[in-house]
Chains A and B, each alone.
Chain A
Amino acid sequence: MASLAPTSISDLADAVRSVPHLLAVGAQTKRGLSALDIPKVSTKQLSGITEYDPGEFTFTALAGTPLSEIHSALAEKGQYLPFDPLLVEAGATLGGTVASGLSGPGRFRFGGVRDFILGVRFVDGSGRVLRMGGKVVKNAAGFDLPKFFVGSLGRFGVLAEITFKVFPRALSSVTLCVDVHGFRVQGSGFEVQGSEFKVQGSKVSAQNEPPSAEVAPITVASQIMIEASKGRWEIDALDLLPDGKTLCLRLAGPAAALEQLSADILTHWHGRSLETAEADALWSDLREFRWAYPQGPLVKVPLTPQAAPDLFSQLVQAERPDQSRIHLSAGGNVAFISLPSAEHSATLDQRLRRLKLSGLGLRAHGPLWYGQRPENKITLAVKQALDPEARYPSLDS
């Protein structure tokens, strides 16, 4: 039997053809996405940057390349992956990141994995090595299969090599923390008592609360996220920490400009700026999920900042709070929910259904899918087109 830890792309194709059923894995940092009892082909030895010309704003690397290696190579040339990948220190690979479709807090400014992938080489279900997309920053020839592979969970093909667009990294960054706790209802909005900082709560309103009751921190956070997203500052990241009351805003650019921009933002919302080391630790903890329960499900839920207060009231502030921890990221466009144990999965599933939301379980604990799931015939048809012999598992498993 061919090796299931292939060292070249042609070995990888041989390995795929050697077994009737298999699933690709990278470093298995997101074990829930590959928790199936079938042979695994590991890309661990399919590693290394194959092309990198900083002047092109692109690089190409084998799928098993650890993100940490890519980070260092790019940083040497003053560039970075703007979608801010997750679990870098845990050892996540480029292929696993694309297949799981995960982006970090920095995706707020310029977009997610899908917005930076340009081309792929992959092994389809028949064991053929195919190249789709391109290696240049702009390409409109043929169907955009590289984007489809973002979030495809290894169910449609094994990624062998991937080309990405990169950007120059800003010269410096600043992180501001705003406390969204302790706001009281005041007129049509809410304000921190005894201070001049106000947040207008128009859409996510505090209407039902009696005057001067404390407004749920998530309501304040949601409103600030909405306002800040519309602002002139080109914010780099905008997240609510799992403590549920600290909103973090990151700016990136030339240092001289950031000083003025931060000062301006802090006239809108009361907060403080962090020391560099403290800020680095904060973002690293978020990217590595150090805040999450080590032994429970970790679920990604796309949503909008408007919908966030409902999600929180269903989970955190429910009558029987289920102890879930939530990191609200990307300006309120995604929630990462950590549950203490798999026993809580069914409840989360029901609650997400009620809210018409969907989730993806990133860890082996609990199910792969949560909440509502649209079913389309086209999913099966595309699966058959790319993997006619069903060599890879289906999205449902």
Chain B
Amino acid sequence: MLSALTFLAKLLPPDRLLCRPEQLAAYESDGLTAFRARPLAVAIPETAEEVIALVRFCHEHKLPFVARGSGTSLSGGSLPVLDGVVIALNRLNRILRLDPELRIAVVEPGVINAQVSQAAAPYGLHYAPDPSSQPICTIGGNVAFNAGGAHCLKYGMTSNHVLGIKAVLATGEVVEWGGASRENIGPDWCGLFTGNEGLFGIAFEITLQLLPRAECFHTILAGYRTLEQAGEAVSAVVASGLLPGAIEIMDALALEAAKAAVHAEYPPGCEAVLIVELEGPREVVGVDRMRLDEIIAASRPVEARPACDADERIAIWKGRKSAFSAVGRLSPDFIVQDGVVPRRRLGEALRRIGIMAREANVRCANVFHAGDGNLHPLILFDGREPGALERAEALAGNILRMCIEMGGSITGEHGVGAEKRDFLPVMFGPDEMDCMRRLRAAFDPLEIANPGKMFPGAEAPALSHVGLHPLEQAGVIARE
């Protein structure tokens, strides 16, 4: 180990190679604070050349490494490997090129998601993927996890906006895929790389597509007596032929929390609130909004409130985006899952989650991307109470199994990471798992890139605490 450190010291100046326990403490965990592991060292490269040299060094010495952006992964994706190297990419944070004519941004991996849209704003452009961690998470982390957000129904996930990738693979090979064009020939390597969860190597330059910002929005909030009615309204909107930018639902517990946290106001006596947003050129939104308003009126809500101006729209989204952290504050600890079910089975899924939660005597709130069938059950518990964590985990596991059984997925956007790796073989059969292992071995024959994630088997440190991310506690970010 010491010899590894000696060699590493030749690659980076001492202030960018952290080895002392007090320096390492900050990197021991990620957004899933349940897991902790102490790395051997944290390397802080500032250039692509340094990243390449570090990975090649790790390859040569069979030293495990974990790339790290902002450490907001909710599934333990950026959890360090015990006695491995953390390669922290935050200083590769330059937007190398922003070309409004081609509508692209070429960025280093440590660039913060929201900064891309900020840089593009003067040209009337934006970067569409908007995870709620966007003020803090990095493009490198988004690419590794194929991050989503509230607008996936119409715009897709990170993968749909990555045009080019330069990466150093775990073998030390440097590759360059795609570029400024929206089109491509040959197999889609950028598509395969995106969502690899840090198991293939490190992306050091990423070309993103930018889109014109929507000219006009129409946002409507509607309260319903029951969750089923809200679910039926979603089906009606989808069947109408409209293509909303976002369709979101919050349940009673989430509403209560949002009211307390940001003084959001909702129609009284509702078990669920639905938010639907249209966006596009003003002429199109002008026509579509009339249809949407009719559909919502016909779904017999307790009350429907269209946002009359930009401030009202912002208020609706503030309540929605704060809901998760707000629920988190109701309880000392919680687990969030992000399984997906077919949209038509959302009502059934929510009912079953409710029943399972009552049976387990665990409180569970739901705030979710209804348009995508992407659930976000938030399981509340108090870790100091004996057996509470185990009950919460058992419920989380049952929810994942239900998602698989319904023909959905164990994760819509948070990734498998360390947390759900035991469920990947539930969703996929032995041949599929073998195929994925072989793919991984093609990119990383030595299993040095982020080992212990995605695939079951390796040892992981025990759960300790499952609560708000430290940055959420500080009010810097909120989760969806």
Q: Which A residues contact B (CB, under 8 angstroms)? A: 53-57, 78, 101, 103, 107, 110-112, 114-115, 124, 128-132, 134-145, 147-153, 155-156, 167-169, 171, 202-203, 226, 229-234, 253-254, 256-258, 260-261, 300, 302-306, 330-331, 333-334, 358-360, 374, 376-378, 381-382, 384-386, 395
**Which residues of B (109-129) have their CB < 8 Å from a CB of A?**
123-125
In the bound complex, CA of A53 to CA of B103 (Å): 35
Contact yes or no, B191 A148, CB < 8 A: yes
Contact yes or no, B124 A230, CB < 8 A: yes
Contact yes or no, B431 A130, CB < 8 A: yes
A sample of 15 more A-B contacts (CB under 8 A), given A140-B411, A150-B191, A378-B173, is A55-B235, A101-B188, A107-B182, A139-B408, A140-B195, A140-B415, A142-B436, A147-B192, A203-B101, A226-B102, A261-B283, A358-B185, A381-B442, A382-B442, A386-B435
Contact yes or no, B186 A395, CB < 8 A: yes
Can you list 14 A-B contacts with CB-CB less than 8 angstroms, sorted by A residue number? A78-B241, A130-B432, A132-B432, A134-B409, A136-B373, A137-B152, A142-B436, A144-B194, A145-B439, A153-B186, A167-B243, A306-B101, A378-B175, A395-B187
Nearest A residue (CB) for B291: A254
Q: Mark B422-445, 1 if CB is under 8 A from A, else 0.
A: 001001110110011011111100
Contact yes or no, B184 A230, CB < 8 A: no
Please judge, given known A-B contacts A114-B188, A230-B103, A334-B181, whether A132 and B435 are in contact too, CB under 8 Å: yes
Q: Which residues of B contact A385 (CB under 8 A)?
A: 435, 438-439, 441-442
In the bound complex, CA of A330 to CA of B181 (Å): 10
In the bound complex, CA of A101 to CA of B432 (Å): 23
Residue in contact with A304 in the complex, picked from B148, B156, B181, B192, CB distance below 8 Å: B181
Please judge, given known A-B contacts A140-B145, A234-B280, A234-B281, whether A168 and B443 are in contact too, CB under 8 Å: no
In the bound complex, CA of A260 to CA of B288 (Å): 14
Q: Which residues of B contact A135 (CB under 8 A)?
A: 342, 407
Contact yes or no, B103 A229, CB < 8 A: yes
Please judge, given known A-B contacts A56-B343, A132-B435, A168-B243, whether A137 and B183 are in contact too, CB under 8 Å: no
In the bound complex, CA of A359 to CA of B289 (Å): 44
Does residue B176 face the partner (Cβ distance < 8 Å to A)? yes
**Which residues of B (414-465) have their CB < 8 Å from a CB of A?**
414-416, 420, 424, 427-429, 431-432, 435-436, 438-443, 454
In the bound complex, CA of A360 to CA of B240 (Å): 40
Does residue B287 face the partner (Cβ distance < 8 Å to A)? yes
Does residue B474 face the partner (Cβ distance < 8 Å to A)? no
Q: Which residues of A contact B342 (CB under 8 A)?
A: 53, 56, 135-136
B376 shortest CB reach to chain A, Å: 12
Q: Which residues of B contact A143 (CB under 8 A)?
A: 192, 195-196, 436, 439-440
Q: Which residues of A contact B372 (CB under 8 A)?
A: 136-138
Nearest A residue (CB) for B432: A130
Does residue B466 face the partner (Cβ distance < 8 Å to A)? no
Does residue B93 face the partner (Cβ distance < 8 Å to A)? no
B150 shortest CB reach to chain A, Å: 12
Contact yes or no, B192 A145, CB < 8 A: yes
Q: Which residues of B contact A130 (CB under 8 A)?
A: 431-432, 435
Q: Mark B178-213, 1 if CB is under 8 A from A, else 0.
A: 001111111111011011100000000000000010
B60 shortest CB reach to chain A, Å: 16
In the bound complex, CA of A156 to CA of B189 (Å): 13
Q: Which residues of B contact A111 (CB under 8 A)?
A: 156, 160, 182
Contact yes or no, B427 A141, CB < 8 A: yes
Contact yes or no, A137 B373, CB < 8 A: yes
Does residue B276 face the partner (Cβ distance < 8 Å to A)? no
Residue in contact with B284 in the complex, picked from A54, A203, A254, A382, CB distance below 8 Å: A254
Contact yes or no, B182 A330, CB < 8 A: yes
In the bound complex, CA of A180 to CA of B123 (Å): 25
Residue in contact with B344 in the complex, picked from A56, A142, A151, A305, CB distance below 8 Å: A56
Q: Which residues of B contact A234 (CB under 8 A)?
A: 212, 280-281, 284
B375 shortest CB reach to chain A, Å: 11
In the bound complex, CA of A140 to CA of B157 (Å): 9
Nearest B residue (CB) for A135: B407
Q: Which residues of A contact B343 (CB under 8 A)?
A: 55-57, 137
Residue in contact with B241 in the complex, picked from A144, A169, A384, A395, CB distance below 8 Å: A169
**By CB atoms of chain A within 10 A, which of B182, B286, B439 has the most?**
B182
Q: Which residues of A contact B192 (CB under 8 A)?
A: 143-145, 147-148, 382
Nearest B residue (CB) for A233: B281
Does residue B153 face the partner (Cβ distance < 8 Å to A)? yes
In the bound complex, CA of A203 to CA of B235 (Å): 47
Q: Which residues of A contact B369 (CB under 8 A)?
A: 138
Q: Mark B395-415, 1 if CB is under 8 A from A, else 0.
A: 000000000000111111111
Does residue B159 face the partner (Cβ distance < 8 Å to A)? yes
Please judge, given known A-B contacts A378-B175, A382-B439, whether A149 and B429 are in contact too, CB under 8 Å: no
Top 9 nearest A-B pairs by Cβ distance?
Answer: A147-B191, A381-B442, A257-B283, A302-B183, A385-B438, A334-B183, A139-B409, A148-B192, A168-B241
Residue in contact with B408 in the complex, picked from A124, A134, A254, A300, CB distance below 8 Å: A134
Contact yes or no, B241 A261, CB < 8 A: no
Contact yes or no, B184 A151, CB < 8 A: yes
Q: Which residues of B contact A101 (CB under 8 A)?
A: 184-186, 188
Q: Mark B347-391, 1 if CB is under 8 A from A, else 0.
A: 000000000000000000000010011100000000000000000
Contact yes or no, B148 A140, CB < 8 A: yes
Q: Which residues of A contact B436 (CB under 8 A)?
A: 142-143
Contact yes or no, B102 A141, CB < 8 A: no
Please judge, given known A-B contacts A378-B442, A384-B442, whether A139 and B173 are in contact too, CB under 8 Å: no
In the bound complex, CA of A130 to CA of B433 (Å): 10
Residue in contact with B373 in the complex, picked from A112, A129, A138, A254, CB distance below 8 Å: A138
Q: Which residues of B contact A141 (CB under 8 A)?
A: 409-411, 416, 420, 424, 427-428
